[in-house]
Structure 1
Amino acid sequence: MGPQDVAAYFAPLLRLELAELQQASADTAASRKPVELDQQSVGRLSRMDAMQNQAMAAAIETRRRGRIRSLNAALARIESGEFGFCESCGGSVPFERLALDPTYSRCVGCRA
């Protein structure tokens, strides 16, 4: 399988995951909003629970944003013809490695 075939194989997978993550980010935007501290509407424990849920949602979004950046970088490498080549040594990144995670940009020998 040549470099163009590898890129053609992974491009739709990358785009699909990117779309799913962007949709999940949009769907969970409300859960990351600051917690309202109105003591009349909810009790102290409910506010603490809401604050914990908001913090967890923010942490998930941080990880999601990191993955979105990785996916966009991989798609940019596809567009530039650099996908499947190690950004450090220029050698090819094995298909098996890309199958584990198509955002990998380094071969096994150069991985950080």
Structure 2
Amino acid sequence: MEKTKLEACRQRLEERLEEILKNQAFSKEENSPLELDQARVGRLSRMDAMQQRAMSKATSSMLNAEKNRIEIALKRIKANDYGYCMHCDEEIGPGRLSVDPSILICISCARLAESSA
């Protein structure tokens, strides 16, 4: 991979990681235990609060997975392994990396994993 493209990917990864870390710091407040005082909150409001909490946890889980992929990709950049599939060691297509620079596997391995799931 060209040095300029590699640097652009590294910068995008670092910027996204910073966004995720800021989001996680903000969402810690949202993940505090729910106070479901029946005298203060009606049944539908409690159900809505529980649904909002579940959606927040799902979002947090997805952000953690993305954060982990980004951290691995940044380590691979430092180790000069970036841009190669972690499964088959073939080069990951530049178009695939331009869409998401945190991608760790090639399209063939991704299809194989998807078909076996």
The code of the aligned residue for 1:35 comes to L
Alignment check: 8 A CA contact 1:33 1:54 kept = no
| C-alpha separation in 1, matches of 2:13 and 2:89 | 22
Distance in 2, matches of 1:87 and 1:75, equals: 14
Deviation readout 1:69-91 (Å, 9 max, x if unpaired): 11111111111110012223333
8 A Cα contact 2:96 2:103, kept in partner: yes
Q: 1:30 Cα shift?
A: 1.9
Alpha-carbon distance in 1 for matches of 2:47, 2:109: 45
Runs of 4+ more than 6 Å apart: none
Where structure 2 has 5 or more consecutive residues not aligned to the other structure, the ranges are none
TM-score (norm 2): 0.82
TM-score (norm 1): 0.86
Deviation at residue 35 of structure 1 after TM alignment: 1.3
**Gaps spanning 5+ residues in structure 1: where?**
none
State the identity %.
34
Moved more, 65-74 or 29-38: 29-38
Q: How far apart, in 2, do the equivalents of 1:107 and 1:69 lie?
A: 18
Describe the shift of the 1:91–1:36 C-alpha distance in structure 2 as closer, same or farther (beyond 3 A): same
Any idea what SS the aligned residue of 1:33 has?
A: coil
Q: Once the two structures are superposed, what CA deviation does each residue of 1:40-86 show, in whole Å capped at 9, x if it has no partner?
A: 22222211111111111111111111111111111111111100122
* Cα 1:41/1:32, change in 2 over 3 Å: same
- SS of 1:37's partner is coil
Question: Is 2:34 aligned against 1:35?
Answer: yes
2:70: which partner in 1? 71
Return the alpha-carbon distance in structure 2 between the equivalents of residues 68 and 27 of structure 1.
Answer: 15
For residues 85 and 30 of structure 1, the distance between their equivalents in structure 2, rounded to whole angstroms, comes to 38
Aligned mates of 1:105, 1:46 — CA distance in 2: 42
8 Å Cα contact 2:69-2:104 kept in structure 1: no
Cα RMSD after superposing both structures:
1.7
